[in-house]
Structure 1
Amino acid sequence: MTFAWLKGHGTENDFVLLPDHDGSVHGDLDGGFVAALCDRRRGIGADGVLRVIRTSALSGIEPGIASAGEWFMDYRNADGSISEMCGNGTRVFALHLVQEGLADPSAPFVIGTRDGDKTMSFDGDQISVDMGVPQVRDVSKVSAAGNTWEAQDVRTGNPHAVAFVDRLDDVGPLLIEPGFDQVVYPDGVNIEFVVREGERHVAMRVHERGAGETRSCGTGACAVAVATAVADRADRPVTYRVDVPGGTLHVTWDADDHITLTGPAEIVARGTMDWTA
């Protein structure tokens, strides 16, 4: 098959974008194809795939899909599995729409995701997304490198377990998935390890379900900010700086309980591929 592709990233959380406006190029977007495309040795290489498709077209392929937005971010993890949401991905997706003249950055606009509609706004090179209302649940346990920590369960479109550690190196290389409570997270979980760097300032590493350790995770940064605010008993609105290996994000938890994720995005390459695998 021959298809167009682009490569982009948000704080080095990288994605292959597949323009497929009417759904005629990739159909139901086979998971094996997605996994091969994301493979860093056999494919283009990425943490996930963002299919750029009209909501009306995807609803004909996947019944139940709906959005007030014209465009839907059909997001897949690097292993080919479907994910509900990707905060960094929304910014890359929105930037692509703007660069292609498919959306106007002068006013907020909506894109559809499996976690509901997300409102995007632009301020120079910073792109913000209203991530909705987080869910703060109970505490469980996570383990890595022979250590075990308590972890706050926070849902920000994806499930997250947020653990505060003394040093980020204490969790080891994260080459394998950390241990977690599979009763609490039967569908897997993104696990964030966090250290405090100062007032309203933290740093994190993340192991994402279906992708492994990544350079950044937008929904994870939101979960970390929420967990830190809960631990701090912080009044809202409150904004946290969240350093990730790939850069810096800012997360605001507003008085109306919504969280807003802000950070950069970049499209770095594009081309047409003849896929023979």
Structure 2
Amino acid sequence: MGEQPGAVGYPFLKGHGIRNDFVILPDPDGSVHGDLPLERVRALCDRRAGIGGDGVLRVVRRPEAEGGRWFMDYRNADGSLAEMCGNGIRVFGRYLAQAGLVDPATAVEVDTRDGVKVLTFSGGAADGEITVDMGVPRLLGPTEVGVGERRYDALGVDVGNPHAVAFVDDLAEAGTLREAPWHDPAFFPAGVNVEFVVRRGEHHVAMRVHERGSGETEACGTGACAVMVAVAEADGTPPEVDYRIDLLGGTLTIRRTAAGHVLMTGPAVVVAGGTTGL
């Protein structure tokens, strides 16, 4: 497994994409953290006894035989593996650029559990928004979600990870979201991210999200992509139209191309760094 971190500590950074925050663990050759035990992820993400975050981004290099790309090893706050994280990959890209590990003047390919994602930087290493080609989403069909005794029609959308998008009259209908919303376990046997959506105007919506493995977060990039797809399907919107998606932590711009790819654009910031023995 390689050397494990101890009392002397190991490096970390902290970053966020519209207040969806992450602990970043540089581990280029995979020798520091090994398989990253669930207990360590939980300790790092603990907001009172740890660093605090919605998840952990481990930065590791793929072998040349596998393309030599940087791999985003993402874990939810509860330690579970996640296929993809939209805000996380922008933060991941920002770290790579600031650390001089990639050239932000060119398109950057990053490996994830949902395949290779392509990042484009609108500014330099430290500034500007980042656009991510999230690939082609899959519509999973109609389903239901619920809060308490209430049930809502929803559309299942796969954006590398599963989502259920429900339209509501008021975002307060989602309640506190301390508990995961009800979902059909036969439809989503591995759990699901749930988005509640209200319309704000033409090509403009607002949302709240409960993330599988993390609880309610102030933003979810894959969730915003799923919402855009669900709203565009409901509206019959043609390709190449920007949607504004307002989340608790900020705003993302999402577009579906003529080829069916979803492009997500938003900010990403690395705010701190240090060492920890957790």
Out of 7, 14, 20, the position equivalent to 2:21 is 14
Normalising by the residue count of structure 2, what TM-score does the alignment of the two structures yield?
0.94
Counterpart amino acid of residue 17 in structure 1 = I
Paired residue secondary structure (1:196): strand
1:160 is displaced (CA, Å) by: 0.2
Asked if residue 99 in structure 1 is aligned to residue 98 in structure 2, the reply is yes
The answer for the alignment partner of 1:135 in structure 2 is 138
Out of 216, 237, 249, the position equivalent to 2:252 is 249
1:69 is displaced (CA, Å) by: 5.1
The answer for the alignment partner of 1:27 in structure 2 is 34
**Runs of at least 5 residues in structure 2 that lack an aligned partner in the other structure:** 1-5
Counterpart amino acid of residue 251 in structure 2 = T
1:90 is displaced (CA, Å) by: 0.6
State the aligned residue count.
267
Asked if residue 5 in structure 1 is aligned to residue 4 in structure 2, the reply is no
1:94 is displaced (CA, Å) by: 0.3
Counterpart amino acid of residue 232 in structure 2 = A
Counterpart amino acid of residue 88 in structure 1 = N
Counterpart amino acid of residue 150 in structure 2 = N
Within 2, Cα distance between the matches of 1:140 and 1:105?
A: 40
Please list, as runs of the form range in 1=range in 2, the aligned pairs for 1:74-223 lying within 5 A after superposition: 74-124=73-123, 125-223=128-226
Paired residue secondary structure (2:29): coil
Asked if residue 228 in structure 1 is aligned to residue 235 in structure 2, the reply is no
Within 1, Cα distance between the matches of 2:216 and 2:108?
A: 31
**Runs of at least 5 residues in structure 1 that lack an aligned partner in the other structure:** 58-65
Contact 1:13 1:214 in 2 (8 A): yes
Within 2, Cα distance between the matches of 1:191 and 1:273?
A: 33
Within 1, Cα distance between the matches of 2:193 and 2:246?
A: 17
Deviation readout 1:145-202 (Å, 9 max, x if unpaired): 4321100000001100000000000111101011000001000000000000000000
Within 2, Cα distance between the matches of 1:69 and 1:110?
A: 10
Asked if residue 45 in structure 1 is aligned to residue 52 in structure 2, the reply is yes
CA 1:114 to 1:236, structure 2 compared with 1: closer, same or farther past 3 Å? same
1:138 is displaced (CA, Å) by: 1.0
Contact 1:6 1:18 in 2 (8 A): yes
Contact 1:69 1:117 in 2 (8 A): no
Within 1, Cα distance between the matches of 2:263 and 2:68?
A: 19
1:236 is displaced (CA, Å) by: 1.1
Paired residue secondary structure (1:106): coil
Give the share of equivalent positions with the same residue, in percent.
Answer: 57
Out of 238, 258, 261, the position equivalent to 1:258 is 261
1:55 is displaced (CA, Å) by: 1.3
Within 1, Cα distance between the matches of 2:183 and 2:277?
A: 40
Deviation readout 1:219-257 (Å, 9 max, x if unpaired): 000000000000001111222100000000000000000
Within 2, Cα distance between the matches of 1:213 and 1:78?
A: 11
1:32 is displaced (CA, Å) by: 1.2
Contact 1:126 1:264 in 2 (8 A): yes
Counterpart amino acid of residue 200 in structure 2 = E
The Cα RMSD (Å) is 1.1
